[in-house]
Structure 1
Amino acid sequence: MRDDQIELLETSFADVYAARDAAAALFYERLFVHDPSLKRLFGDTDMAVQGQKLLTALKLVVGSLRNLPAVVPVLETLAVRHTGYGVRDEHYATVGTALIETLSLYFGPRFTPELRAAWTGAYETVASVMILAAHRPQEHRERAAAAAPASL
């Protein structure tokens, strides 16, 4: 990613993070509108807690944009964990749609084409890392899981 895109992501995410509870609630609302069947993956999960996890993960990714290799093991671990919950490859596209729509609704006219492109590019990078990790052999996934912090 270019420095100007990273700056856009950092600045816009700080704004979203300040309203993290509302932003997370809006994201999950949009996610379930796009694919109501995804609700079953969350079971009895407290969605407020899930929203905190989502924003924590986004904060980690946005904070690591200047050093992406540092966050890859965390993303790989998340991918493996999500596979265990029943997440499939096609769900990543739905999540991306819900994320971009959430940001568009949150920012309104401030969600410029440049900001949209930066968020779309960042999400596509994250999703591709996670999808690849989900398809790696089990021994590689175990090594990735052991290397990453268990906080997410």
Structure 2
Amino acid sequence: MSENQMTPEQINIILQTVPLVQERAYDITTIFYQNMLSAHPELNSIFNTTSQRTEHQARALAGALCAYAANINKLDALGPMLELICHKHASLLIEPKQYSIVGKYLIEAMEQVLGEAFTPNIQAAWTTAYWQLAKIMIEKEASLYRQSEEWTTWRDFRIANTKTESSEITSFYLQPVDGKSLPSFAPGQYISVRMDVPGLGYAQARQYSLSDRPNPGQYRISVKREDGFDVKRPSMEAHPGFVSNSLYDMATVGAAAGAIVQVSHPRGDFFLPSA
């Protein structure tokens, strides 16, 4: 049996502890992010700060954690969700070594929140379960990187032009600084755009659908200004989108043209039918 393959006993432990973890999942993921980002501030550039502040990221991870545990004996059911996550990870250029950091702080957060209920046997089962999932995702992401070997790092793009589409939406035309031809993409795919955000002190990346036909010389994205109000939780403080609003504001004052942003290879496994 391989190092990351779960025993039948461990699978049963995970299934039996789903209710325990589900009850405190949000607390676990909240503490996980707090501790990990405090110890590794360099990871702030990977995780969405707006989603952190609105609690969306912690809630999303809590849901994914419970879904994985509940399906630990039927992982095929998680196929579509894992494809979605792995494409986004590849778009953010996640590295295998970062899974070790995540695993360490996730298990520690579970121990911190669950206390004595998180017995050594339960901890061992969840640790093995984490690495089983991590191995699957690392392999999927490695496959995606192999499919785009000509472009596996952040690449500098110049904003060549902008076009106002409406009072809230502006299109940005992005051209590679190196002048090399761009790969094609399928309708519905997206790119990650990374830029330094004034006031944060670190870069942030966001995903934007490619909004024009494939063009070897440029990509187009259409960006909506995000006010950050949550209609489901109107009492919560607004958290405007950092990257979208920075781009939008640059275009509004005429400062976008010529600005440099970083872009990753097109990703996304949800394709619209070809015409």
Partners of 1:101 and 1:44 lie apart in 2 by 22
One-letter amino acid of the structure 2 residue matched with residue 34 of structure 1? A
Structure 1, gaps ≥5 residues long: 148-152
- In structure 1, the partner of 2:141 is 134
Q: Deviations over 1:33-67 (max 9, x none)?
A: 33221112124332210011101111221121111
Name which structure has the greater RCO, CA cutoff 8 Å, separation 6+: 1
Q: Larger C-alpha radius of gyration, 1 or 2?
A: 2
- In structure 2, the partner of 1:102 is 109
- In structure 2, the partner of 1:13 is 18
Partners of 2:24 and 2:36 lie apart in 1 by 18
Structure with the bigger percentage of helix:
1
The offset of 1:113, in angstroms, is: 1.5
- CA contact under 8 A between 1:5 and 1:118: conserved in structure 2? yes
The CA RMSD over aligned residues, in Å, is 2.3
- CA contact under 8 A between 2:26 and 2:59: conserved in structure 1? yes
1:121 aligns with 2:128: yes
Q: Secondary structure at the match of 1:98?
A: helix
- In structure 2, the partner of 1:37 is 42
TM-score relative to the length of structure 1: 0.81
- In structure 1, the partner of 2:63 is 56
Structure with the bigger percentage of strand:
2
Q: Deviations over 1:76-97 (max 9, x none)?
A: 4312211212321111111100
Q: Deviations over 1:95-139 (max 9, x none)?
A: 100111011111222222211110011000100000000111439
One-letter amino acid of the structure 1 residue matched with residue 127 of structure 2? T
The offset of 1:73, in angstroms, is: 4.5
Q: Secondary structure at the match of 1:145?
A: coil
- CA contact under 8 A between 1:32 and 1:38: conserved in structure 2? yes
Deviates more, 1:16-25 or 1:102-111: 16-25
Q: Secondary structure at the match of 2:49?
A: coil
TM-score relative to the length of structure 2: 0.47
The offset of 1:26, in angstroms, is: 0.7
